[in-house]
Amino acid sequence: MWQIIVNEWQYYFRSRLLFSISAGFIIVLVLTVILGQYQSGIQKDKYVNATDHLRGQWEKIEAMNPHSAAHYGTYLFKPGGLLNSLDDGINTVTGNVLRVEGHVQNEIVYSEASQIKSVSRFGRLRSSLLLQYIVPLLLIFLAFASISNEKESGRLRLLLVQGAKLSQIIFGKILSAWLYGLSLLLLVFAAYLLLNIDSLTSATLIRSFFFFVAYALYYFVICGLTVYLSARWQNATLALTSMLAIWILWTIFLPAILISYSEAAYPLPSRDQFKTAMKEDRAKGIDGHNPLDARNKELQEKVLAEYGVDSLSQLPINYDGLRMQADEDYGNIVWDKHFGNIREILTQQKRMIQLAGIFNPFLSLRNASMGFAGSDNLHHHDFLLQAENYRRVFIKTLNDEHAYGGSKTGDWGWKADNAFFKSVPAYQHKPRDIGAIVQSYALDLGLLLLWTVVIFALMLTSTPRMKII
Amino acid sequence: MIKIQNVKKSFRGNVALQDLSLQVNKGEILGLLGANGAGKTTTINLLLGFVAPDQGSLHINELDVRNNTAEVRQRVGYIPENVNLYEYLSGLENLDYFCRLAGLKYSRSELAGFLDTTGLEGAAHDKKVAEYSKGMRQKVGIAIAYAKKATVYLLDEPASGLDPLASNELSGILRKLADEGAAILMASHDIFRVREVCDRIGILRSGQLIQELAAADVTANELEKLYLKFMKS
């Protein structure tokens, strides 16, 4: 089999057309990695500068009422993972900036697609686009005639008479095309690793490994199926037509159909519905029996009893801070309920899309690619959760200062000093645990592996029955 | 040695061979003459194990083809009408590749020696096959079989499309191989070439061997008349 692979590679190198296409494509691939890295670098620098600038402004507050500071708020920026430069997934359409302030949970805004028209129309040129769409096409064009040409020319008989087994020839051709795909993949990774050599962590390397494995498995499926069709059909044109039809079905039609189906099966509320429901629950009470006024009255009585006084003016603390925090706490419960619902629906949609990988390995590849690149919905929601958790700590710190910092109820003119504002912790984003990511995408990797095994089994079982003449 | 006994073969109800029996001994060349569809290529495909007979047996060097396909192929040199080599490789590289597939590793000089034996000029050894004439490709095909140390050669219209000089060279090579002890079965339309190079001649019509004779017993003209008579009757 090794001889067959070496011979195929001699063809790859000696065919002027193929060599030119490969050389041109390699240049485009490397440029895309560099461009992706450059764009990610610019974005990262912008976010770092903006974060530093905002923090600097915050720490320069000399004296301000904590509640005013809560409305002054701050902004959080969604951090980009290192692998985002290879696959930016949903990042171009989701927002990147989240305003953190008291009373409200704002929506993430300023997506790249909303800022740059070309991105909204055409998407951004990323390595993943080439690796998911163009490389498989190249592999199809490389392998569609691999066996049918040997048959049509009569050379297959000569090869078999020389002692080569049909299974060896078929697997030799599959592996040759697969190694070509892997070489392009390795090139992308080599360029990416070289550009990020100083920032690599074990988590990034593990992500990169699984990212690589997902593509490697998918390429095997593409090469295996193409060579199988080449061996199955009597002429190369039929093999090419069949494989292109599969490629179109897998990459264009099925994803759109399956995603639409999952959205219909597990519908998300519209933005208006979501906002209205949140507003109503916050004002009327989650169950409609605990309105805002009643909650306030109950808290007031509880605090007065706790301090053993009859009126708010007798309290040694500022009741306004406690009331605002109680309102925040209730708002948080409402948010958890609604955001939890959204998260549950998205999880169900994701699971359905993942299971659709049984019919379409391209979906499994895309899921795994975005997942390991950290640019999928799970990572996005993880950021939203961390940002919300930070908002809660941030606002609670300000409300506590308002309540216990030394002011009395109704004293809205009271100001906290600079030392306090400096002591408010800055947002620190924690990357998702790599074990959890692997667990989330084990199904996609498993289905890609299943496809590989199925292709392998198909070859083994069908080879003895294949027509040679 | 090639031995075919009472072989029948049909494809989807169409009879390709009917009760065919023939034998080619060591050092002998048997020419199979016949029109298109007479069963010449089917006979060769049966001997190579690419198709199985409906009835009868085929043996090569005492080995049953059906039960020992791999071993049989090791001993057989096959030269088709068009030896389709890899055009991006030179003649020498093609020979090396096909030898390696057969598990044979030769030095460059040994490979060149095989090509020399078939009459391929040294200057052509390292040229890409894309630049070769049909005759040159046929020579590489013969070198592939020769390097394999085949004891049985199956040739399917090997001289088709060759110019007279190349065809004559091919005859010389085949004669040489037979003189070295090979058993050669050559399917052809070319009455004159068959008469010139073969020891015995068989005429196939509609899958039946209707005549077998020694080449020495007939002149080319007599053979042509006989062949035409059978084809017309």
Q: Which residues of B touch A468 (CB under 8 A)?
A: 50
A274-311 per-position pLDDT tens digit = 888 888 887 776 554 555 677 778 888 888 898 888 88
A223 falls in which pLDDT band (50, 70, 90)?
very high
Beta partners for residue B33, in sequence order: B188, B203
> According to the model, what pLDDT value does residue A290 have?
56
CB contact under 8 A, A163 and B70: yes
> According to the model, what pLDDT value does residue B220 have?
76
- Cβ contacts of A176 within 8 Å, gap of 6 or more: A4, A5, A8, A9, A12, A146
| pLDDT (average), residues B48-60 | 90
> According to the model, what pLDDT value does residue A259 have?
85
Q: Which residues of A touch B51 (CB under 8 A)?
A: 469
> According to the model, what pLDDT value does residue A141 have?
93
> According to the model, what pLDDT value does residue A366 have?
92
> Using an 8 Å Cβ cutoff, are A254 and A362 in contact?
yes
CB contact under 8 A, B88 and A14: yes
> Using an 8 Å Cβ cutoff, are A177 and B159 in contact?
no
A197, pLDDT greater than 90: no
| pLDDT (average), residues B167-182 | 85
Q: Which helix (H) or strand (E) holds A75?
A: strand A74-77
Nearest to A164 by CA among A153, A152, A156: A156
Name the token pair of B99. Answer: 């030898």
Name the token pair of A312. Answer: 């708010």
A220, pLDDT greater than 90: yes
> Which DSSP symbol is given to B128?
B
> According to the model, what pLDDT value does residue A171 have?
92
CB contact under 8 A, A155 and B78: no
CB contact under 8 A, A157 and B51: no
Q: Which residue of A has its CA nearest to B150?
A: A162
Name the token pair of A463. Answer: 């080879």
Per DSSP, the three-state class of B180 is: coil
CB contact under 8 A, B84 and A155: yes
> Which DSSP symbol is given to B68?
-
| pLDDT (average), residues B180-206 | 86
> According to the model, what pLDDT value does residue B110 have?
92
Dihedral angle sign, alpha carbons of residues B205, B210, B215, B220 = negative
A230-257 per-position pLDDT tens digit = 988 878 888 899 999 999 999 999 988 9
Higher pLDDT, B169 or A53: A53
B113-122 per-position pLDDT tens digit = 888 888 888 8
Domain ranges of chain B: 2-82+150-232
Interface residues on B facing A, Cβ-Cβ cutoff 8 A: 45, 48, 50-51, 70, 73-74, 76-78, 80, 82-86, 88-89, 93, 97-103, 141, 144, 148
Could you give the CA distance from residue A380 to residue A370 in angstroms, rounded to a whole number?
11
Q: What percent of chain A has pLDDT over 90?
A: 23
> Using an 8 Å Cβ cutoff, are A303 and A314 in contact?
no
Name the token pair of A404. Answer: 């216990």
- Smallest CA–CA distance, residue B233 to chain A, in Å, is 31
Q: Is B173 exposed, middle or buried (0-12, 13-18, 19+ CB in 10 A)?
A: buried
- Cβ contacts of A118 within 8 Å, gap of 6 or more: none
Beta partners for residue B214, in sequence order: B200
Mean residue pLDDT of chain A comes to 85
Count of domains forming chain A: 1
> According to the model, what pLDDT value does residue A464 have?
78
CB contact under 8 A, B80 and A157: yes
Place of tokens 């309102």: A327
| pLDDT (average), residues A165-178 | 92
| pLDDT (average), residues B49-77 | 89
> According to the model, what pLDDT value does residue A109 have?
53
Could you give the CA distance from residue A350 to residue A346 in angstroms, rounded to a whole number?
6
Report residue A35 CA to chain centroid gap: 19
> According to the model, what pLDDT value does residue A288 have?
47
Q: What percent of chain B has pLDDT over 70?
A: 98
B149, pLDDT greater than 60: yes
Nearest to A121 by CA among A92, A97, A96: A92
| pLDDT (average), residues A1-30 | 88
Could you give the CA distance from residue A457 to residue A228 in angstroms, rounded to a whole number?
11
B5-15 per-position pLDDT tens digit = 888 888 888 88
CB contact under 8 A, B141 and A7: no
Mean residue pLDDT of chain B comes to 86
Q: What percent of chain A has pLDDT over 70?
A: 93
Range of the domain at A38: 2-465
Going from the C-alpha of B129 to that of each of B91, B112, B138, the distances in angstroms are: 6, 15, 11
> According to the model, what pLDDT value does residue A375 have?
86
Q: Which of B84, B137, B152, B155 to mutate to test the interface with A (most CBs of A within 10 A)?
A: B84
Q: Which of A161, A166, A468 to mutate to test the interface with B (most CBs of B within 10 A)?
A: A161
> Using an 8 Å Cβ cutoff, are A26 and A187 in contact?
yes
> Using an 8 Å Cβ cutoff, are A370 and A360 in contact?
no
A115 falls in which pLDDT band (50, 70, 90)?
low
CB contact under 8 A, A159 and B84: no
- Write the residue in B77, B101, B144 that is nearest to A3 by C-beta: B101
- What is this model's ipTM? 0.88
- Smallest CA–CA distance, residue B84 to chain A, in Å, is 6
> According to the model, what pLDDT value does residue A193 have?
86
In one letter, which amino acid is A459?
Answer: M
> Using an 8 Å Cβ cutoff, are A178 and A219 in contact?
yes
Of the candidate CATH numbers 3.40.50.300, 3.40.50.11540, 3.30.420.40, 3.40.120.10, the domain formed by B2-82+150-232 belongs to 3.40.50.300
Task: Mark B117-133 as b/e (b = at least 16 C-beta within 10 Å).
Answer: bbbbeeebbeebbeebe
B21 falls in which pLDDT band (50, 70, 90)?
confident
Q: Describe the crossing of helices B134-147 and B164-179 by its angle, rounded to 10 degrees.
A: 10
A314, pLDDT greater than 60: yes
- Smallest CA–CA distance, residue B91 to chain A, in Å, is 14
Name the token pair of B120. Answer: 């391929």
> According to the model, what pLDDT value does residue A135 have?
93
Dihedral angle sign, alpha carbons of residues A297, A302, A305, A311 = negative
Q: Which residues of B touch A10 (CB under 8 A)?
A: 88-89, 93
> According to the model, what pLDDT value does residue B11 have?
86
Lowest mean pLDDT among A275-279, B39-43, B54-58, B160-164: B160-164
DSSP string, A270-330: PHHHHHHHHHHHHHH-TTSSS-HHHHHHHHHHHHHHHHT-SSGGG-SS-HHHHHHHHHHHH
A/B interface, count of CB pairs below 8 Å: 61
- Write the residue in B80, B89, B103 that is nearest to A158 by C-beta: B80
CB contact under 8 A, B84 and A157: no
Lowest mean pLDDT among A2-11, A74-83, A415-424: A74-83
> According to the model, what pLDDT value does residue A428 have?
86
- Write the residue in A4, A7, A162 that is nearest to B102 by C-beta: A162
Q: Which residues of B touch A164 (CB under 8 A)?
A: 101
